[in-house]
Every structure is written in C-alpha cells, then in structure tokens.
Amino acid sequence: MAFSVIVTRDFDQMSEVAAGLVAEDIRRGLARGPSYVLGLATGISPTGLYKHLAKAANAGAFDASRITSFNLDEYVGLPGENAQQRALHKEAYGYFMVQELFGLLRKKFLETNVPWGALIDQGRLEAEMKENPGDWTLQGEDAGKAIVIGRDARSDYLRWIRRDILDAYAEKIARRGGIDLHIVGIGRRGHVGFHEAGIPFEDNEMLLVKLDESTIANAVADGHFPSRMESPSYAVSMGAPLIYRAATVLIVATGKRKARAVADALLMDPAPSVPVSYSHLAAERGGRVVFVLDREAAADVMPQADRIRGRGIELEEIGAGGASTRVSDLSFRRCPETGLMG
C-alpha cells in the first residue's frame, strides 16, 4: 500500500515540501511522455504550494506549457446576469486559480479546466426541479446532499446538466488519460471538494450538490458574500471516486481545525461520513496517497503514530526543533519493482 504522511513545522514548510513533491512528479511525468495532467483544489491550504510551484515553473524546473489542469469544484449560483459574469465573479474558483496560480506563470498551462457550474442558472435549476420532482433524487445522510438527476429525466434542462455539465467533465478527464497528480485540501468535517459528509461514494464521480446551510452561513460570516441571498446554494464537484482515481492524490492540511478530520481519515475505515477516508481504498487499489500536514493539523495524528503505522501508513516528521528542510531533500520514494512510493 502506497500511503504516507509527512508532518511539517508550519504552513510555510508544508507549502514548500508539497510543492517540491508536485514539481518532482511533474518532471518525472514529462520525462516519460509529452504531457501531464494536474488536478487542482481551491481554498487556503494550497495557496502557498501554488506560489512555490509557480516559482519552480518560472525557474525552469518543468515546462508548464505541457500541463493540462482540472479543478475539482465550482459554485452554482454566483451573482451575475450571465455565465460570463458568474465565471468572473471574485468568489468564482476559476478566478481564484488565476490569482493564486495561473496568473503567476510566465509559461501558461496548455489547457485549464474548472467544472462548468457558471453555465447553470440557479433560478432555472430550482424551477425545473420544482416542476419535475420525478427527475431527481437527493442522496446523503447529513446536511449537504447530492442531487442525482436521472439519465431519462423529462426536463431538457436537467438532462443537459447531467449530460453536458457533470458527465462531460468526467469524460474529458478520461480522454486526457486521467489525472497524474491531484492536489486536494480537506474540509473541517473531512470532505473533499464539495463531496460533503454523508454523500455516498458509489456512482458519484461528478456531483451536483445542494450545500449545507452551515456552509452557506460560514461563507457569509467569512466575508465571501454580503448576504445569504447572494451566496450560492449549489455547487458542481468531483466526487471522491473521481478525485481518487488520480495516480497520486496529495492532500494538504493546515491549522488546528483540521486536526480531528485528518486523524479520523487516517485511523478509520473508509466511510462516507468522512469522505477523505476514501484514501485507504485508493491506496489499496494501487494509487499513491500522500498527506502533507503542518504541526497543528497533525495535532491528533502524532499521539497515535503507532496505530497509524500499524495500518501500513508511512509517517515521517520533518523540520522539528526549527530545523529547515529543502524541497530537494524530499521526493516520492519509489519501489524499484512497482514504481510506487514505499
């Protein structure tokens, strides 16, 4: 099983270490073939990683123009009169990526993709769902729910969302050969992207999600939106099965509020109540999973280090006691027989 955890000193070291691992995997991938497919997340956790990764690309560590990227989620229902305005809203995840990574690159990626949530008109979505209750069902055991649209939905609009927004995104990833490495954050309750706690794993590669009211309230409280009325109620997201189909999933987490979710993910068996626990299934099926944590996010991990190692997970703490660690000192350690981290 190729599953490892790296505990770093703080956010800065976590960002540098994670960026070094990503840059090395890109270099290896481009040495083997003409292109590389990178999965990307938004949120605070990967922002430092993206700055280091852009610096590496600009310094010539790898050729960014040979990379295609796929982001894992996007809001539905951002303010705006049309899709273009919604896509350029300051809280749109595509806009975030321009600020935090794409706009920092001297050589631009060959292609960038963000789920096409901006194309969906939230008002029409809600009207079509109300008029066609037999076209869709809700899935989930918690407050956030997946809206599952039937393939034979009577509503043309709902069928279009299923076919051209959800299924088409997963199909495009498959046409590009799948994702080589996916950068992922972890939510406070262990969600990945908008695959929220309680949404089943099965048959949920791409999700249309009705957001938890607490998620919406937090977005307003944190200043992202001025009011509940202007905050999106839905999102489009890769589900855990599609995220973890990447050859490598690199999960970054920072801060005390992530500590419990990280420990739960490492110690529990896979369950939809903590979507990031899908990591175990991915590793068992031959993928690589790497957690890069700062010390605060690892607060509940280190006291249980023996239990974690007992599950076959490699656990390493670096930079303790103020020691510095260069990115070049770390790498994906690969088994000569399999090429996987060991």
Under 8 Å between Cβ of 73 and 238: yes
Predicted TM-score (pTM) of the model is 0.92
Q: What is the pLDDT of residues 283-303, one digit of tens each?
A: 999 999 999 999 999 999 999
pLDDT of residue 333: 43
| Average pLDDT taken over every residue of the chain | 92
Question: In the chain, which residues have pLDDT < 70?
Answer: 1, 320-342
pLDDT of residue 334: 38
pLDDT of residue 168: 98
Task: Tell the burial category of 106 from Cβ atoms under 10 Å away from its Cβ (0-12, 13-18, 19+).
Answer: exposed
**CA-based angle 307:309:310, to the nearest 5?**
60
Q: What is the pLDDT of residues 90-103, one digit of tens each?
A: 999 999 999 999 99
E-strand stretches of 196-282:
206-210, 234-238, 248-253
Please, what is the angle between helix 11-32 and helix 47-58, to 10°?
50
Of the candidates 21, 34, 4, 328, the residue with the CA atom closest to the CA atom of residue 177? 34
* C-alpha 120 chain-centroid distance: 21
